[in-house]
Amino acid sequence: MAVDADVVSDKAGVCPKCEMKLVLTTTVKHGRVAEENWLKQHPQAPSPAATQFTCPMHPEIISDKPGKCPKCEMDLVPVKK
């Protein structure tokens, strides 16, 4: 939710405020605000959306590096912004 844009994580999970499933910042209108909050909390880290990879067939699979999908063995592709 946009009101919870201060909640950012580099791992899948649920929002501790509203208990909704966390989603990629590239999939929500408030993604830029969430990425800015990430950078404030992790000043030495790159934006999580800039370095994530996903499976074309299984979008719930997220990785911070290229590789193979553990479900179908397809190559992971960069998350599109």
- Across 1-81, the runs of DSSP E, i.e. the strands, are 53-54, 62-63, 77-78
Listed in sequence order, the DSSP H helices in the chain are 31-41
Q: Report the alpha-carbon distance of residue 2 to residue 71 in Å, rounded.
A: 31
Closest CA to 27 of 55, 6, 2, 3: 2
3-13 pLDDT, tens per residue? Answer: 878 888 878 88
Question: Quick one: pLDDT at residue 69?
Answer: 92
pLDDT digits (tens, 9 = 90+) for 8-53: 887 888 888 898 888 888 787 887 888 888 778 777 665 555 678 8
